[in-house]
Amino acid sequence: MMRRVLAIVMLACLWAGVVQAQGGPLRIEITEGVVEPLPFAAPPFVAETAGAADWGQRIAQVVADDLNGTGLFRQIPAGAFISQITSFAAPVAFADWRAINAQALITGAVQTDGAGNLVVKFRVYDVFAGTELGAGLQFAGTEDGWRRMAHKVADAVYSRITGEGGYFDSRVVFVSEAGPKDNRRKRLAIMDYDGANVQYLTDSSALVLAPRFSPTGDRVLYTSYESGFPRIKILDVGSVRSRTLEQGDGTMSFAPRFAPGGQSVVYSLSTGGNTDLYRLDLASGGTARLTSAPGIETAPSYSPDGSRIVFESDRSGTQQLYIMPAGGGEAQRISFGEGRYGTPVWSPRGDLIAFTKQSKGRFHIGVMRTDGSEERLLTASFLDEGPTWAPNGRVIMFARETQGAQGTSSLYSVDVSGRNLKRVRTPDGASDPAWSPLQ
């Protein structure tokens, strides 16, 4: 029943989006209307060994934060609880949870072995049906991986209730920024999707731009000015070792992105003032030129099946979006609205393309279908830029820079419906986010 309740809520969102899309030819009103979120209770996970109570509190809180953060769920505060969960195995007093209108109840338990290892179990209940939703699950890991275990619990809960894949056990690689606009220092950083566990992957001795994850999240492509010129580097996340990909003298390369198999890279190379798209095979180092128009061709992104590439080009006179076969060849223009379109990124579900749009002095993050139809703008500000998709294709993260001499850049996320716009916390300024696959 609960699954049905939320499925209805989510269908309603999609339906509203379609209605808006049909309201005009391309221009869509941006709405951030609130869908009634599903109330849930996540009491502290039961401590089944000595010393596990603290973990039980913290894990339940991360699970609740994950679900709250989607805007689709609303945590009922512990102060409202009528009964407590003191045993993971004991029958649930559903009436007590119905009385506080908890539609979902998440119970869990934690064991520690005193040697740095945790075991986490959980169950999800449909309170009004009085039944368990799916089977109980158990995760084992080390204490320093406790947040990942909590994210895995939340992903399972999200997935069971929405019928969609989760995205909480994922990471974001981004550019950490410090200093004023005319002396900005940039370095690569990686963190959990929610801003926890920030680690720096480079120092700020050389300008770095636009990191992108490999399909398995183990490597990162980025652009570095270490040589004095923009060159593409590839970095192993585990060892934090990097190397420059082969480049010819007198060229500049940037905007790299992995092909879905992770074996090759598509990127932009500028030579003689002309910027075109190339593909580089990582094993052999061999390159192939994919475009040869005299204009600017950049910001390429593969379709999830690897058969096509969406990119931006100014061959028509202004920045617009095009799709071509992965091996190059004739490109179809897909953006026809007013303004300029850049930084296209193919959704991991394959259905949508997210982009940055500039129109009338404002920047927007938007989405459109792969044929360019049903364009919807999700955000508007002085400068929004560079969308990246959550692994389940339902949330987009991007960078927002504020106006003026004191302007700084921060990360934001927004639901693909345009709802739930919120800032992602980072220690300093941040730009160029790229979301990892689910770990």
Q: Counting contacts by CB under 8 A, is residue 209 touching other proteins? A: yes
Q: Counting contacts by CB under 8 A, is residue 411 touching other proteins? A: no
Give the position of tokens 């003298």.
Answer: 249
Q: Counting contacts by CB under 8 A, is residue 228 touching other proteins? A: yes
* Phi and psi torsions of 155, nearest 5°: -60, -40
Q: Counting contacts by CB under 8 A, is residue 254 touching other proteins? A: yes
Nearer to other proteins, 240 or 383 (CB): 383
Nearer to other proteins, 44 or 300 (CB): 300
CB atoms within 10 A of CB 12: 12
Q: Counting contacts by CB under 8 A, is residue 298 touching other proteins? A: yes
Least distance to other proteins, CB of residue 300, Å: 9
Q: Which two tokens stand for residue 12?
A: 């309603």
List the one residue out of 345, 412, 360, 406 whose CA is nearest residue 384.
412
Q: Counting contacts by CB under 8 A, is residue 404 touching other proteins? A: yes
If you count DSSP H runs as helices and E runs as strands, how many of each does the chain have, helices first?
4, 31
**Distance of alpha carbon 413 from alpha carbon 397, whole angstroms:** 4
Nearer to other proteins, 276 or 375 (CB): 276
Of residues 167-186, which lie at the interface with other proteins (CB under 8 A)? 180-182, 184
Angle at which helices 2-22 and 146-162 cross, to 10°: 80
Q: Counting contacts by CB under 8 A, is residue 104 touching other proteins? A: no
**Distance of alpha carbon 115 from alpha carbon 105, whole angstroms:** 31
Q: Counting contacts by CB under 8 A, is residue 409 touching other proteins? A: no
Amino acid at 392: N
Least distance to other proteins, CB of residue 104, Å: 41
Q: How many residues bind other proteins (CB under 8 A)?
A: 40
Q: Counting contacts by CB under 8 A, is residue 358 touching other proteins? A: yes
Q: Which of 77, 248, 272, 329 binds other proteins (CB under 8 A)?
A: 272
Could you tell me the CA-to-CA distances from 147 to 123, 134, 185 in Å, in that order? Answer: 18, 22, 30
Q: What one-character DSSP code corresponds to residue 204?
A: S
- Identify the H or E element spanning 408: none
Q: Counting contacts by CB under 8 A, is residue 320 touching other proteins? A: no
Sites of contact with other proteins (CB under 8 A): 180-182, 184, 207, 209-210, 228-230, 250, 252, 254-255, 268, 270, 272-273, 275, 296, 298-299, 312, 314, 319, 342-343, 356, 358, 361, 382-383, 385-386, 401, 403-405, 407, 432
